[in-house]
Amino acid sequence: MTIGYTGAWQSKAGLLVQDTGTRGKPVTQSAKVKQMLNLVGNDPNALNIAEMDRQKLHKNVKGFDPENVSAKSLGNLSAFLRGRGLISEITAMTLLNAGDKFDRFGVPKDPDAKFNALEYFATQLDTIQTNNIKGDKYANGLIPEYKKAIYVLQNLKTYGMGNGRSVATPNDKGISAKA
């Protein structure tokens, strides 16, 4: 007889249910989220790419995927970027607090679980704007920060997918001059 948890079980609402292992699968975006992301758009100046190249940070963000990231790794990345002076403290805190599974004290329940950070911020932004329409004036201050968090995530994905910008050096190959 075994006492305690066996296998991949987790507690949900006081019951034990089998964990289906959905942590590693990327989450698809709903139509509402895509619409919100289209409305937010892109801001290529949200991160100073030239400064990131100067600090040689490409290897640190290579392969970054905001659509399949854990709260823990996003928090570590936000602290790293803040420490390098690339994002503000408010943006770092916004990214650090991303995730949707918190206990009643605000501590993440499963910081290693993967989630779609772009979808999270788009959903939160939609909720904030809805509350703003209903008269929540506090939301006015949050809207720019959530947009900035989306811009930073988009720029990190773009920067991580590329080879990083390199400083162009003059190249005289193929040019011949006769004296």
Range of the domain at 154: 26-161
* DSSP helix/strand/coil, 36: helix
Quick: pLDDT tens for 24-52: 444 455 788 888 888 889 999 999 999 99
The answer on pLDDT for 82 being more than 70 is yes
Tokens encoding 38 = 């289209």
Q: What is the pLDDT of residue 31?
A: 80
User: 13 lies in a domain?
Assistant: no
User: 67 lies in a domain?
Assistant: yes
Burial class, 34, CB count within 10 angstroms (exposed 0-12 / middle 13-18 / buried 19+): middle
* Residue percentage of the chain with pLDDT more than 70: 69
**The total number of structural domains that make up the chain:** 1
* Residue percentage of the chain with pLDDT more than 90: 27
Number of neighbours of residue 99 by Cβ within 10 angstroms: 20
The answer on pLDDT for 84 being more than 90 is yes
Q: What is the pLDDT of residue 173?
A: 42
Beta bridge partners of 15: 12
Q: What is the pLDDT of residue 85?
A: 93
The enclosing H or E element of 82 equals helix 71-83
Q: How confident is the model at residue 175 (pLDDT cuts 50, 70, 90)?
A: very low
pTM listed for this prediction: 0.70
User: 168 lies in a domain?
Assistant: no
Mean of the per-residue pLDDT values of the chain? 76
The average pLDDT across 132-144 equals 77
Q: What is the pLDDT of residue 14?
A: 52
174 against 62, higher pLDDT: 62
Q: What is the pLDDT of residue 113?
A: 83
- Report the C-alpha gap between 94 and 75 in whole angstroms: 9
User: 111 lies in a domain?
Assistant: yes
The answer on pLDDT for 73 being more than 80 is yes
User: 18 lies in a domain?
Assistant: no
